[in-house]
Structure 1
Amino acid sequence: MAKILALDTSTDACSVALYLDGEVKEDFRVIPRQHTQQLLPMVQAILADAELAIADLDAIAFGRGPGSFAGIRIATGVAQGLAFAAELPLVPVSTLAAIALQQHQQGHERVIAALDARMDEVYWGAFRLDAGLPVLVDQERVDAPANVALPDEHVWHAAGSGWRYLEDMSAAIQSAVNEPDVECYPRAGSMASLAAAAFEKGDMVAPEDALPVYLRDEVAWKKKDQQ
């Protein structure tokens, strides 16, 4: 089986995980503004515990966003540096999909994952469970809370820090969502599992082609192009 290292620094949490022999080992810490200092030591520790070197891996996964601009750049840069040095492919993983997978594992088949995007906006995406994995419905978005919408009439579970804006969302959302899991962070452990599935399908990129996904930047450029 594939040996995959996963990294995430997209929120106040910093996490690393190792997918090995079908099992996931993870180091997860909520350490705001300490990602730069802690990420590499965490990587070194989890590899040392498994008696592995970077060169022993098959791929490296990272949280490609959306999330904190600075945080996403940290994970992307570290993953690229490690991959270049060991000539490994990278697997970019959606932070929202990572949240959705955690909720799927708790028994929720349909999940709307949302992260606080600051500036009174949220990053969000709806995911349904298919063959044990989250599948994105439509696309990931950045919106004002009032614009978050239910994809259909099914029951949807809500998770992620963006749901702290629930009171600013539509009446339809407020009536449909009950006790969202606002403390659910993207985690490297979930990303490692998603990356393993992607690796098996050959969904990897070269280090130089691995890009963060900001969403807000993409929306800004689209609006500019439409002017």
Structure 2
Amino acid sequence: MSLLLALDASSSACSAALLNRQPGRDDAIVARFAQTPREHTRRLLPMVDEVLAEAGVSPAQLDAVAFGRGPGSFTGLRIAAGVAQGLAYGLDRPLIGVSTLEALALGGHLRYRYRYLLTALDARMGEIYAGAWRIENGWPVALMSEAVLAPERLVLPREHEDHDWVGLGSGWSLWDAMPAQIQASLGQCVEDVDPEAADMVRLAANAFDRGEAQAPQDAQPVYLRDQVAWKKAR
């Protein structure tokens, strides 16, 4: 049996989820999700308490802690990483960072059965965080490296251009700046979706089973844009 807790604050939403994985049974997940702009610090830990209480699990029973490692909101990523590291240190448990773009892709498949997904989050400053995914055996497989770029530079992965693609995430609010090829290739576009801990905890459980958990001090946010503060100052 595995018990994993995941939390996320990478967007305007805040979420927490607990997964109970037992051999021969479907995964049981208890989750909380809410749109909480600028309230992540106040809402995240109560959500953690709520999912643990509903599942009847104490923190000491957890096997690992996971968090949305990014890309996403610079402040939100630091909040989630800080809370997750604090929990992992206190419980002496490993930590797992989960890609927010991959979580978006998994959520799109689980909820809508999409198979080829372009996930994009608004990175501000006229840029997007982007990733491309194909679903294989129910799980996302990356078809490009995650990147931060201007929307007009987004391209489809070679050898997969003819598939029916779906766009997911807040980055598609910059639709008018997307290349004509991208616009023509998308069969559908869903902007109002955010990464969720309920999807992250599934990905984290797979990583845990593969032995990919890290020591708390080694799991860090992934910003993609390394010069955030400098660019804003300029």
1:116-127 aligned at under 5 Å gives the runs 116-127=122-133
1:133-172 aligned at under 5 Å gives the runs 133-151=139-157, 152-153=160-161, 154-172=163-181
Kept in 1, the 8 Å contact 2:165–2:187? The answer is no
User: Tell me, what secondary structure is at the counterpart of 2:38?
Assistant: coil
Of 109, 119, 134, the match for 2:115: 109
The Cα of 1:20 is off from its aligned counterpart by 1.1
The Cα of 1:218 is off from its aligned counterpart by 7.2
| Percent of aligned positions that are identical | 50
Matched, 1:203 2:215: no
| CA distances 1:102-131 after superposition (whole Å, capped 9, x unpaired) | 112221111110000000000000011122
Structure 2: where are the runs of 5+ without partners? 22-26
Q: Aligned partners of 1:107 and 1:218: how far apart in 2?
A: 36
User: Tell me, what secondary structure is at the counterpart of 2:143?
Assistant: strand
Q: TM-score scaled to structure 1, two decimals?
A: 0.94
Of 28, 34, 45, the match for 1:23: 28
Q: Aligned partners of 2:120 and 2:38: how far apart in 1?
A: 21
Amino acid at match of 1:19: L
Q: Aligned partners of 1:123 and 1:94: how far apart in 2?
A: 11
In the alignment, which residue of structure 2 is the partner of 1:56?
Answer: 61
Q: Aligned partners of 1:50 and 1:99: how far apart in 2?
A: 25
Q: Which stretches of structure 1, 4 residues or more, deviate above 3 A after TM superposition? A: 218-221
Matched, 1:181 2:190: yes
The Cα of 1:132 is off from its aligned counterpart by 1.4
In the alignment, which residue of structure 2 is the partner of 1:93?
Answer: 98
Question: Which stretch shifts more, 21-30 or 112-121?
Answer: 21-30
Q: TM-score scaled to structure 2, two decimals?
A: 0.91
Structure 1: where are the runs of 5+ without partners? 222-227
| CA distances 1:64-88 after superposition (whole Å, capped 9, x unpaired) | 0000000000000000000000000
| CA distances 1:126-181 after superposition (whole Å, capped 9, x unpaired) | 01112211111120000001011111322211100001111101111111123311
In the alignment, which residue of structure 2 is the partner of 1:224?
Answer: none
Root mean square deviation of aligned Cα: 1.6
User: Tell me, what secondary structure is at the counterpart of 2:188?
Assistant: coil
The Cα of 1:48 is off from its aligned counterpart by 1.3
